[in-house]
Homo-oligomer: A and B are copies of this chain.
């Protein structure tokens, strides 16, 4: 993999990733006149829930959005206004979000607590938000990318994880993809994101607590027990030499798959070459099942659950969580009172049924 780091007109980093042997120079300058990025992101502690909430009020005034008919993720091509990517073609490209929720350069003078609420601690919203563009082809769905491109993407995610894990104050690196208009995705061009959080996000924090509680109560190793049980269990959907995809025993979304590597690793950078090859295959299979379960491709969120940067790394087990809010053709699961109000998920199906459906999906 060839990695070429450049700067955009406003100082943001852009990194081109090309497979070995590529000869493109990746040196096109950004011709735009952009104001420098300013962020006033801050965190507040929700004392009753015991969770950080991010406030990125500067995102309300996104004044430099491109016109709706011009995709900012397409390459910059002659005769059209320049996009976020100066090159006229690329394989995979990553750049800092122009309106990030978390940023390396933040106002350091955040008061220690919210106005009038000493328990609502505040911190600067330090971190980084990146956009990962999967292909220069605007109309290619991720499920239809060639396996070689998915293989490159695995290397990119691993590289971004290493790079962002090294930034000051970053506690968690989260590569993810939101896919589908019906869940609010406004840019059709195939892309994902990477968030580097300055705190342990609630889901990861709950997993760490569960691991510790399980060990204290049973002496057991929770992730090892889950992987051992599910690899041979009734909810397996697909597997190859290095990965197994299964519907988790207590799935909460209408469609949900978890992909675990057979060897315990904390995060993407720890995967071997052979494991990365097998992941590209497993990913193509999983995305294909979601795309073909119904006549229309399902919306989905693909979420990499990596070990925290500084905690519980020995106890963790890397996995991808792939889930959809589509419960039937044209029908979404809405998170209403029980889910959004109380956090109690109610499913109208069973994980075993869903596994059977996804196993039977062909294309």
Contacts and interface: CB of A to CB of B under 8 A. Distances in A.
Interface of A: 44-57, 59-60, 101, 114-120, 172, 174, 176-178, 183-185, 193, 195, 197, 199, 201-204, 206-207, 209-210, 213-214, 222-223, 225-226, 229-230, 232-235, 248-252, 301, 303, 321, 323, 332, 334-338, 340-353
Nearest to A344: B201
**Most-contacted residue by chain B among A119, A185, A234 (CB, 10 A):** A119
Contacts of A177: 337
A362 to B, nearest CB: 23
Contact of A115 (B118, B234, B348): B234
How many copies of the shown chain assemble into the complex? 2
**Most-contacted residue by chain B among A193, A229, A353 (CB, 10 A):** A229
Given A54-B347, A301-B341, A303-B337, 4 more contacts: A53-B252, A55-B346, A56-B346, A303-B341
Contacts of A235: 115-116
* Interface secondary structure of A, over-half rule: mixed
B207 A49 contact: yes
A255 B344 CA distance: 21
Contacts of A222: 47-48, 119
22 contacts: A46-B250, A47-B210, A47-B249, A48-B248, A49-B207, A50-B210, A51-B206, A53-B345, A54-B347, A55-B349, A55-B350, A60-B349, A115-B233, A116-B230, A116-B232, A116-B233, A116-B235, A119-B222, A176-B342, A195-B337, A199-B344, A201-B342
Nearest to A60: B348
A334 B235 CA distance: 29
Given A222-B119, A352-B115, A195 B48 contact: no
Nearest to A207: B48
A344 B55 contact: no
Contacts of A232: 116
A114 to B, nearest CB: 4
Contacts of A213: 50
Contacts of A193: 337
Contacts of A174: 337-338, 341-342
Given A222-B119, A234-B115, A202 B46 contact: no
A344 B54 contact: yes
Nearest to A211: B48
